[in-house]
Amino acid sequence: MSKRQFILGMLASSLLGGLVVLLGISFFGGTETVNGSFSLNRSNSVATSFGTISDEPHDYSVPAGVNFIEASRKIVPAVVHITNREEIKGTSSRWRRLLRNGVKFRESTGSGVLISEDGYITTNYHVVEGADELEVRLDDNRRLKAEIIGADPDTDLALIKINAKGMPYIDFGNSDQVEVGEWVLAVGNPFDLNNTVTAGIVSAKARNINLITGNTDNRYGIESFLQTDAVVNRGNSGGALVNLQGELIGINTAIATNTGTFSGYSFAVPSILVKKVMDDLLEFGEVKRGLLGVTIRDADGVGTVELSGVRIMGVSPGGAADEAGLKEEDVITGVDGKEVKTTSQLQELIARKRPGDAVSISYKRKGDDRETSLKLQNRESLAAIDLAEPELIFEKEDGVSENTLTYEIAGAVFEDLSSQLKKSLNLEGGVHLSQLGEGAWKASGVKEGFVITKVGDDDITSLEQFQKIIDTKTKDFFVMGKYPNGEKEYYRITW
């Protein structure tokens, strides 16, 4: 066969094959078209529509225990946006030039949660602090004025009210029943983004971050936060933390951050404490808090054989704990049958009570398990005998009799600087370690006679100020100062 014949044969075969394919398509597939739709079997068609969007509800199932949708539907309408307007008093000419239309208010915003149908709202104290005017924006965008019913800086909570009826509201859940690892939702207004819902899990319970107790002016502060990894940012404060049943289990209060924005952990006041504070503010306009009359720290094996519980560092003479027979170095392990492992847990459990309430205390004394009961006192009745108040003793200096206030804690006795020490060390303030016994101070290596001029970053000016700062310390801290010979030193105190 010649080359020419071979090529002609190939062309004929190709034409015959193409004809067979076309006939097959016509016979088996047809050339049917579908008007108004995009059909894959029309290679030469032009699209005129991409179909329609169905109005039918989605037919899907959510795995048990992770249904965020129902909880979100319940909670979102009951979370409000709060604007705090504080009047700028004594406005300088520079400020007046910056202000427009004569407005002399500075604004801050946060969140709140409706807890009754007649307009009561729980939020953080720091959201409404200093407010001359409060405005609440509801989920339906209505804006209403609000008044402060009461506030409690000790827990950073406040109760406010709007004049409204038939409000959607959230039921309180039981924060004691919340488990680490449980799914939770945070709802609030971060960066003024209304009603934002985020999800996470409970990371820890009864967490103390020294947000409230770190304030030296607030020695009765209570911190026992629920820690979560639900995203919370500026503006979320006062908003809701809920479980997947849509029940309020906490009020979002703070974040752990070095940047000012969310870095992985947020903290909420647990709902049982929130409800107690709200009930007190509604009934009395203030919080009625029962007190044990003790100074405490975690029992973590330092200075005691107990690795868990709350170690009593001092007992107020005549206080509730003293009357019940509790003593220094006892370790509290339970309250009303609930296990206590940390100071945060103990503070929260006692903070739920009112003065006069009977409380059962489980504790250990030198390893032996014991129990006692007591009636809590109020702040006023304890004030006159509080251990934290310096004891009055008498001392002679240069042959002149004078009254000297002292403060004793963890085996050390401190007093204000004498005029002679101030002069010799060229100091304006500080405290003098006058007596040193067994305890945390001696363990640090400090010696009698040391003059403390600084605790952490705080300059010490007086015994009273020193006492307030030390009473807030629950972890390691540093002190700096001088000995009477002028030698400078610093020590790490381990509680």
Q: List residues with catalytic annotation.
A: 126, 156, 237
Within 10 angstroms of residue 80's Cβ, the number of other Cβ atoms is 30
CB atoms within 10 A of CB 2: 7
CB atoms within 10 A of CB 275: 18
The pair of three-digit structure tokens given for residue 183, joined into one six-digit string: 């799914």
State CA 139 to chain mean position distance: 25
SS3 per-residue string spanning the chain? CCHHHHHHHHHHHHHHHHHHHHHHHHHHCCCCCCCCCCCCCCCCCCCCCCCCCCCCCCCCCCCCCCCHHHHHHHHHHHEEEEEEEEECCCCCHHHHHHCCCCCCEEEEEEEEEECCCCCEEEECHHHHCCCCEEEEECCCCCEEEEEEEEEECCCCEEEEEECCCCCCCCCECCHHHCCCCCEEEEEECHHHCCCEEEEEEEEEEEECCCCCCCCCCCCCCCCCEEEECCCCCCCCCCCEEECCCCCEEEEEEEEECCCCCCCCEEEEEEHHHHHHHHHHHHHHCCCCCCECCEEEEECCCCCCCCCCCEEEEEECCCCHHHHCCCCCCCEEEEECCEECCCHHHHHHHHHCCCCCCEEEEEEEECCEEEEEEEECECHHHHHCCCCCCCEEEEEEECCEEEEEEEEEECCEEEEECCHHHHHHHCCCCCEEEEEECCCHHHHCCCCCCCEEEEECCEECCCHHHHHHHHHCCCCCEEEEEECCCCCEEEEEECC
Residue 224's Cβ-count burial label (10 Å; 0-12, 13-18, 19+) is buried
What CA–CA distance (Å, rounded) separates 21 from 17? Answer: 6
Q: Phi-psi region for residue 402, left (φ > 0), alpha (ψ -120 to 50) or beta? A: beta
Which residue type sits at 251?
I
